[in-house]
């Protein structure tokens, strides 16, 4: 393993989501999903990492790890506990968090929606509700008016494709529906919500004269779909179709204001460019055997059985840059490794893939800062650079976390770091 430098100017940090770390909120769709016995280990996001009451400590820890950037989410149900009724207490909380980040010189990127809905919105049909665009625009407007002074970079919606597939096609996530037709409708409405939020963030920040260049995008879950047998026409077509339906149709629709089939008619809704950066969340690849998703035989996998395929990240960066021509943010990349046995190597290989690409990758947010509530896996999906003991709340930086700090400090992987973290 050789040393290498990071791309000049590329900033490094971590990403989290409110529902996965905060704890203490009973007013969101995931709390209800946990209460009704859907989580494999029976745990609940009500506990998570207790981050809501430990913000100071956690940001202090980020700072001691030399993190330069932080992608985090706000819990919509805390900000707007009832339709049109806003909580200034929640606003003050997030304002304090943003000010702490500033004090430590950590640049924030705020996610408005990351899988979880306020209970009232879920009950009203969430993104199937004909009024959802207005509702989401109002929420965005309120957030940016009150917090926009302290944050200039935003992700409107995290992984609409994962939200729709799990919640409306497989029915494993809230609201537990299995309807392709409804799934496509949700996709369409999420696109419309993204356009509205994009406009709102820009116009409110401009109108109120908030500092910093406003940058808005989404974080799209992107996978590699490769054919099992390259000579098989069926496998090749299947890989293409899955890639199109799961990601390209959604990305194009979100970014270009043109709803692609089967999300909508291909006619433009309002043909425009709805992004300043392209957010890539990357974890793994699928091998298509006919219409079946499989894992490459003999591949190295993580604790959840996902193939570790670093080259996929470079392929996606190059593909997305060619397709959309904007700076790339790696908004999530990481692995589930409870023993911290291969995370350092995972980071090395994926960062190397990032640096080998010629595209302008400006940010790398490792998923994730600390072990958290990993949706259906509950408290058994340790993706953290920091180990979190859910019982005591104790945080402990892992060896891979120290490696990450070393990379940030040296703007790359040094010979000494290879020896210390990857060979010993
Ligand atoms: C999601 C995260 C999740 C991670 C690992 C991403 O799809 O945005 O919330 O924890 O994957 O499963």
283 contact partners, CB below 8 Å, separation of at least 6? 221, 223, 306, 332, 333, 334, 335
Distance 367 CA to ligand 1 centre (A): 8
Q: Tens digits of per-residue pLDDT, 138-166?
A: 999 999 999 999 999 999 999 999 999 99
279: its two tokens: 């957010």
Ligand 1 atom closest to residue 159's alpha carbon, by position in its atom list:
8
Distance 157 CA to ligand 1 centre (A): 13
Ligand 1 atom closest to residue 374's alpha carbon, by position in its atom list:
10
**Ligand 1 lined by 218 (C-beta under 6 Å):** no
Q: Write down the pLDDT at residue 265.
A: 76
**Ligand 1 lined by 371 (C-beta under 6 Å):** no
Q: Write down the pLDDT at residue 233.
A: 98
For 231-250, give the DSSP string: T-HHHHHHHHHHHIIIIIHH
220 contact partners, CB below 8 Å, separation of at least 6? 159, 160, 161, 247, 250, 251, 254, 278, 279, 280, 281
The residue whose C-alpha atom lies closest to atom 3 belonging to ligand 1 is 374
228 and 236 in contact (C-beta within 8 Å)? no
The residue whose C-alpha atom lies closest to atom 9 belonging to ligand 1 is 17
Give me the residues paired with residue 155 across strands. Answer: 111, 217
259: its two tokens: 């709803």
**Ligand 1 lined by 165 (C-beta under 6 Å):** no
The residue whose C-alpha atom lies closest to atom 10 belonging to ligand 1 is 374
Q: Tens digits of per-residue pLDDT, 254-288?
A: 999 999 999 997 677 888 999 999 999 999 999 99
Q: Write down the pLDDT at residue 26.
A: 98
DSSP 8-state code for residue 49:
T
416 contact partners, CB below 8 Å, separation of at least 6? none
**Ligand 1 lined by 332 (C-beta under 6 Å):** yes
| Residue of 17, 247, 367 to mutate, ligand 1, most atoms within 8 A of C-beta | 367
Q: Write down the pLDDT at residue 12.
A: 99
Q: How far apart are CA 106 and CA 100, in angstroms?
A: 9
Q: Write down the pLDDT at residue 137.
A: 98
Q: Which residues of the chain have pLDDT under 50?
A: none
Q: Write down the pLDDT at residue 125.
A: 98
Q: How far apart are CA 117 and CA 26, in angstroms?
A: 11
Q: How far apart are CA 278 and CA 328, in angstroms?
A: 5
DSSP 8-state code for residue 330:
E
The residue whose C-alpha atom lies closest to atom 7 belonging to ligand 1 is 221
Ligand 1 atom closest to residue 304's alpha carbon, by position in its atom list:
12
Distance 282 CA to ligand 1 centre (A): 9
Max Cα–Cα distance, the chain, nearest Å: 60
């Amino acid at each position: 393993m050789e040393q290498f430098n990071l791309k000049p100017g590329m900033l490094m940090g971590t990403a989290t989501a409110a529902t996965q770390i905060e704890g203490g909120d009973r007013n969101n769709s995931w709390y209800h999903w946990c209460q009704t016995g859907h989580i494999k280990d029976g745990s609940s996001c009500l506990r998570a990492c207790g981050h809501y009451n430990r913000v100071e400590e956690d940001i202090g820890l980020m700072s001691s790890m030399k993190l330069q950037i932080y992608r985090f989410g706000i819990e919509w149900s805390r900000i707007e506990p009832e339709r049109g009724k806003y909580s200034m207490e929640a606003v003050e909380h997030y304002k304090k968090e943003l000010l702490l980040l500033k004090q430590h010189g950590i640049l924030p990127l705020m996610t408005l929606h990351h899988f979880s809905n306020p209970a009232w919105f879920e009950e009203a049909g969430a993104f199937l509700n004909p009024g959802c665009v207005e509702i989401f625009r109002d929420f965005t407007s309120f957030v940016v008016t009150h917090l926009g002074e302290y944050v200039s970079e935003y992700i409107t919606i995290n992984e609409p494709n994962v939200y729709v597939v799990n919640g409306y096609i497989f029915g494993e996530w809230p609201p537990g529906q299995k309807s392709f037709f409804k799934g496509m409708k949700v996709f369409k409405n999420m696109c419309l919500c993204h356009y509205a939020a994009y406009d709102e963030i820009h116009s409110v920040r401009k109108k109120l004269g908030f500092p910093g260049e406003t940058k808005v995008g989404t974080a799209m879950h992107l996978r590699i779909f490769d054919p099992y047998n390259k000579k098989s026409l069926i496998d090749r077509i299947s890989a293409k179709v899955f890639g199109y339906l799961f990601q390209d149709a959604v990305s194009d629709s979100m970014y270009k204001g043109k709803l692609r089939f089967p999300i909508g008619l291909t006619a433009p809704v309002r043909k425009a460019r709805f992004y300043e950066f392209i957010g890539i969340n990357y974890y793994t690849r699928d091998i298509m055997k006919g219409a079946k998703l499989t894992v490459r035989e003999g591949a190295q996998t993580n604790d959840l059985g996902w193939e570790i395929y670093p080259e996929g990240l470079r392929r996606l960066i190059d593909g997305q840059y060619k397709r959309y021509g904007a700076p790339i943010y790696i908004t999530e990349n990481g692995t589930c490794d409870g023993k911290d046995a291969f995370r350092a190597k995972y980071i090395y290989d994926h960062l190397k893939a990032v640096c080998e690409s010629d595209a302008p990758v400006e940010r790398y947010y490792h998923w994730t800062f600390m072990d958290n509530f990993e949706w259906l896996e509950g408290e058994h999906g340790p993706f953290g650079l920091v180990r979190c003991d859910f019982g005591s709340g104790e945080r402990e930086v892992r060896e891979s976390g120290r490696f990450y700090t070393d990379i940030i400090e040296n703007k790359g992987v040094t010979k000494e770091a290879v020896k210390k973290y990857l060979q010993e």
